[in-house]
Structure 1
Amino acid sequence: MKDEQKNFLLFALLAAAILFGWPYLAGTFFPTANPPATRIEQGKSEAIPAPSADPTADSPAAVRSRAVVLAETPRIRIDTPTLSGSINLRGPRIDDLILKKYDETVADNSAPIRLLSPSGAPDAYFAGFGWRDTGLQAPGPDTVWRATGDVLAPGKPVILDAANAAGQRFRIELAVDDQYMFTIKQTVANAGGQPVTVAPYALVNRSGVFHDKDSWTIHIGPMSVANGVANYDTDFDELDEAPETFDSTGGWLGFTDKYWLTALIPDQGKDMAGQFRSGANGAYQADYTVQPQQLAAGSAVTHTSRFFAGAKEVRAIDDYEANLGIAQFDKAIDWGWFRIIEKPIFYYLDWVFRMVNNFGLAIILLTLTVRLIMFPIAQKQFASMAGMRAVQPKLKALQERYKDDKPRLQQEMMKLYKDEKVNPLAGCLPMLLQIPIFYALYKVLMLTIEMRHQPFILWIKDLSAPDPLTPINLFGLLPFTPPSFIAIGVFPILLGISMYFQFKLNPQPTDDVQKQVFAIMPWVLMFVMAPFAVGLQVYWITTNVLTIAQQQWLYSKHPALRQAPAK
């Protein structure tokens, strides 16, 4: 009896550690969900302003400030189905970019996402292109280029032109597709009397770190692919101490947020020297230089590169890698170890969503598909459970007979399992298979822009965020927001209830401590799962409901599971 009390006390302490320690552990290693998109006030869903929102969404002063900066330099307009903004002819720089398809919040009047901003404006973030100072007398950052047009659009490239006093002419041809990829052709024509050394460069510079935090499961910050290997190990803190340099043939480098990416992509067949470094006023820069080459008098040389600036849409990223030959470009999305499972789940989920036009319903249909695929395994699991239940009296007898001889007990148990043709581990297989699927869905919900701000039903406006409706504040009728670790939403409660009934259907353990553990486990997991994305809770609730139905049917096929073990 003392041992049972000791075991139960240990379990209670473990449960308490999980409940109160999990929020701190998850924040560093395992982010549970995106920030809440809404809150419930007076029983109604209200959009929450994003803490990382573009200043144009909240501050009229910031609008005037950016407008002043943009008006200080001559510009050509960017207009595509997905992008709007402008290119600064001083530099030149791509430093004004808005993503038309994505809003800051779920509010109807939300401002769109602003990805790039000019130097001197709030949240400066821009890309620039030019040539290293190798005696070439190349145009500098204050050079104002001449442009052949006033709008950059798909199928309408713009050519920028400049010259120096030594007889070299410089041309930058800019093109953009209908998604997020710019093509930059940098040409030097040497009309002087002497050869010159030409070394093109490109840079992307941002002010400060990202608002989303880098974590063990999702990399946010500087990122590169060098010599075919993706590097997620660089962070902003390391750049504050020392720059990071590398050499590569092809590859790319830039800054990755959870949903957004800027990437400099040199000619994939050329050698380049890349680097990340910190600068003044909390700025960070990624840049590369192509291997210098001699340009003879009377000749010209062109270097073609690309610049990605936009949303990390899975299909678009994969298409760019396949069609443009960009090395490991799909690694811009930090799929991690279970990539081989996550991408098929994403593509299937996205296909179902396009059919039903509701991501919550798509997750339910995904769950149904998974259960159908695993149904034969579940049948074997229940058959094994029935067999194990039938041999329980013999197993108990062996444990009594050889309780002082553990090696002999193990031998006799193995012989019993072999004679009765049962496998004690068979019941664990479906659970083990569910783990990578559950984790893959977690990564899909956390990582993919396609899941961002996707509504489900009623008050659920974002499946990638926690459930905002909780009885702790009487479903928003009381004027306070409870702390996250006790803000148990409706969906986590439904999850706990479904798990309770599922556990009730399972064969009850004979040990009293195990019974107590199984009795409290659904409610512990309810607290643990509460901060996770609603989409994960929808998946788990649906899994539990289907499991209950499946168990009822399989119990009819294996009635021994409902019977008490023979004495």
Structure 2
Amino acid sequence: MKNDQKNFVLFAVLAAVILFGWQPIASYFFPAANPPATKIVEGKSEVVPNPGADPAADSPVAVRDRALVLRETPRIAIDTPRLKGSINLKGARIDDLVLTRHKETIAKNSDPIRILSPSGTGDAYFASFGWSGNGVQAPGADTVWQASGTRLTPTTPVTLTSQVGGQRYQIQIAVDDGYMFTVRQTIGNAGAQPVQAATYGLLSRRAPPRDKDTWSIHSGPIYEIKGGVNFDVNYTDVDEAPQKFDTQGGWAGFTDHYWLTALVPDQGKSNVIQFRNTGDNVHQADYRPASLTTVQPGQQVTATSRFFAGAKEVDLLDRYEDAGVVQFGNAIDWGWFGIVEKPIFAYLDWLFRMIGNFGVAIILLTLTIRLLMFPIAQRQFASMAAMRALQPKLKVLQERYKDDKPRLQQEMMGLYKQEKVNPVAGCLPTLLQIPVFYALYKVLMLTIEMRHQPFVGWIKDLSAPDPLTPVNLFGLLPFTPPSFIAIGVIPILLGVSMYFQFKLNPQPMDDAQKQVFGLMPWVMMFIMAPFAVGLQVYWITSNLLTIAQQQLLYSRHPGLKTAPAK
């Protein structure tokens, strides 16, 4: 009896540690969800601003008004199905870009996501292309280029031209219907002596990013060298010392949770990729060829590179990888379980396109996973029934050899062999579900396809926590409870479903274990509350299917519901 009480107290302390200490741990290893998309006020859903949204031009964060900065320089408009913005002819910079298909919030009149902003604003973020070398004068940041047109579209590229000293420079910029720019840089030597020159491209980003860098979702510098995408460099590493890499081809840039910018030099040449802090909280990613090119008088040399600025949409990234950008599909931080995550995403995305509701697609995905695991569950229940029947014999052995542990283990293994029982078979389905559950968590958290997707009723964003909580009487009371106690309706349903699932499980013989399993559903309810509703929908559906499955398997293995013989 004393041991039972001791076990229960130990579990209660452990549960309290998990309950109160989970949030700081999870915020690093398992980021809970996107910011809430809605809040419930007087029983109605209201859209809330995105706390990570691009600051308004007149906010204290801005150094200068963006609209004013944009008017100060000559520009060429960018107009594609996914992008709008402009190219700054002063310095030949792509520094004004928004994503027309992705909004800051779910409101119909929400501003689009801004990914690039000109120098002089608080969130300056731009790409620039140029030359360096020996015996060559190159255009600089103040050079005003001449343009061949006034509008860049997927069907109308533009060419920028500048004459400096004895060299003539051209930058031809084209853009596709996605997020990829193609940049052709040409230097023509009109002088009397040969010159040595090399192209470069750079990305400059001011101020900290909107997304936090965590263990499972990287936000910060990203690069590909030697056939692998690397997420191991963060902004603090760059602050301490420049990070330089030699590679064949390669690409480099900055990634956020859903957004990416990347410079893609010629994939067939040797390049040097670098990240560095250029001062005043500005981080830069750049590339240059490993060697200079000699340009003879009267000759010209062209180098082609690409520049990506947009959303990390899986299909588009894979398309660019197929077009020659090495490992570009892995710009999404799939992690260790990518071999599981990618098929799960492909199937989930196919279901969504067929049905049109992401929540229903998650439910059907869960049903598919449970059906695939049903044969394993059958073996688990058979093993559990056999183990339960062996409990009296195991108790006898434990009493007989309680002072001889090696002999006890030997006798137990002999009993398992004699009765043809595998003691670990019952754990196999649980172990198999761990990578599947984590893979689904990563899919729902990483992929932009679920961002701002509604389900039913008050669930307007499956990638955010449930906003409807009884703590403030479902929004009727005029206060917003702290996140720790703001348990939504969906997490409560999760706890209830888990409670009934545990009730159907074979009851442990130890009273302390019974109390532990009785409390576990409610502890998990608090733990899961901050996570994305989409993940909770998966777990609830899985619990309900498990309950139905248990009822079926109990009918086949009635020994699991009866107390072991003594």
Same fold (TM over 0.5): yes
One-letter identity of the residue aligned with 2:430? M
- Counterpart of 1:249? 248
Write the mapping of 1:149-168 to structure 2, written as runs, cut at 5 A. Answer: 149-166=149-166, 168=167
DSSP 3-state at the match of 1:223: strand
Aligned counterpart, 2:235: 236
Aligned to 1:511: 510
- The Cα of 1:100 is off from its aligned counterpart by 0.4
What residue identity is the alignment partner of 2:106?
V
Establish whether residue 484 from structure 1 lines up as the match of residue 494 from structure 2. no
Q: Which amino acid aligns with 1:313?
A: E
Say whether the 8 Å CA contact 1:170–1:188 is kept in structure 2.
Answer: yes
The secondary structure found in structure 2 opposite 1:258 is coil
Please list the CA deviations of residues 364-414 of structure 1 after superposition, one character each: whole Å capped at 9, or x if unmatched: 000000001001101111111111122222222222222222211111111
Question: 1:279 maps to what in 2?
Answer: 278
Sort the Cα spacing of 1:58 and 1:554 in 2 relative to 1 into closer, same or farther, 3 A. farther
Q: How does 1:149-548 map to 2 (within 5 A)?
A: 149-166=149-166, 168-290=167-289, 291-323=291-323, 325-548=324-547
Contact 1:57-1:111 at 8 Å conserved across structures:
no
For residues 36-75 of structure 1, what are the structure 2 equivalents within 5 Å? 36-56=36-56, 65-75=65-75
Shift of the alpha carbon at 1:122? 3.3
Distance 1:59 1:103 in 2: 19
Q: CA deviation at 1:61?
A: 11
Which residue of structure 2 aligns with residue 90 of structure 1? 90
Tell me how far apart the structure 1 counterparts of residues 63 and 356 of structure 2 sit (CA, whole Å).
35
Measured after TM superposition, the shift of residue 556 of structure 1 is: 0.9
SS of equivalent residue, structure 1 residue 535: helix
- The aligned residue for residue 142 of structure 2 is 142
Map of 1:549 onto structure 2: 548
C-alpha distance after superposition, 1:209-268 (max 9, x if no partner): 112110111110111112223221211122222221121111100100010000000000
- Distance in structure 1 (CA, Å) of the matches to 2:245 and 2:556: 63
Which amino acid in structure 2 is aligned with residue 304 of structure 1? T
Looking at structure 2, the residues matched to 263 and 107 of structure 1 have their Cα atoms a distance apart, in angstroms, of 29
Q: Deviations over 1:350-373 (max 9, x none)?
A: 000001111110000000000010
Deviation at 1:133, TM superposition (A): 4.7
CA distance in 2, matches of 1:215, 1:507: 39
Q: How many residues align?
A: 565
Query: What do the CA deviations read for 1:160-214 (whole angstroms, capped 9, x no partner)?
Result: 1111232x21111100000000000000111211100111010011111112110
Aligned mates of 1:48, 1:57 — CA distance in 2: 19
Q: 1:307-358: per-residue Cα shift (whole Å, max 9, x none)?
A: 00000001110110112x1122122111100000011111110000001111
SS in 2 for 1:380: helix
Residue 57 (structure 1) shift = 8.5
What is the aligned partner in structure 2 of residue 108 from structure 1? 108
C-alpha distance after superposition, 1:417-442 (max 9, x if no partner): 11111111111111111100110111
Q: Secondary structure at the match of 2:156?
A: coil
TM-score for both structures, normalised by structure 1: 0.97
Instruction: Give 1:512 deviation, angstroms.
Output: 0.8
Gaps of 5+ in 2: none
Residues 510 and 284 of structure 1: CA distance in aligned 2, closer, same or farther (over 3 Å): same
Question: Following the alignment from structure 2 to structure 1, what is the Cα–Cα distance between the partners of residues 219 and 134?
Answer: 34
| Deviates further, 468-477 or 393-402 | 393-402
In 2 relative to 1, CA 529–58 (structure 1 residues): closer, same or farther, beyond 3 Å?
A: farther
How far has the Cα of 1:121 moved from its partner? Answer: 2.2
Shift of 1:63: 12
**Aligned equivalents of 1:58 and 1:42: distance in 2?**
32
Instruction: Provide the rounded CA distance (Å) in 2 between the counterparts of 1:55 and 1:492.
Output: 32
Deviation at 1:64, TM superposition (A): 8.9
Task: Note closer, same or farther for the CA distance 1:15–1:60 as it changes in structure 2 (3 Å cut).
Answer: closer
Aligned-pair CA distance for 1:280: 2.9
C-alpha displacement of 1:135: 2.5
Residue by residue over 1:27-68, the C-alpha shift from the partner in whole angstroms, topping out at 9 and shown as x without a partner, is 122212112111111111111111221234986997992111
Percent sequence identity is 69
* Contact 2:133 2:196 (C-alpha < 8 Å) held by counterparts: no
Other structure's SS at 1:55 match? coil
For residues 345 and 437 of structure 2, the distance between their equivalents in structure 1, rounded to whole angstroms, comes to 12
Q: What does residue 6 of structure 1 align with?
A: 6
CA distance in 1, matches of 2:131, 2:80: 28
User: Conserved in 1, the CA contact under 8 Å of 2:64 and 2:121?
Assistant: no
SS in 1 for 2:134: coil
Q: Is the 8 A contact 1:445 1:535 kept in 2?
A: yes
Letter in 1 for 2:380: Q
Tell me the SS of whatever aligns to 2:550.
Answer: helix
CA contact (8 A) 1:56 1:63 kept: no
Match of 1:391, SS?
A: helix
Q: Which residue of 2 aligns with 1:29?
A: 29
Distance (whole Å) between structure 2 residues aligned to residue 238 and residue 387 of structure 1: 55
Once residues 79 and 465 of structure 2 are traced to their aligned partners in structure 1, the CA distance between those partners, rounded to angstroms, is 36
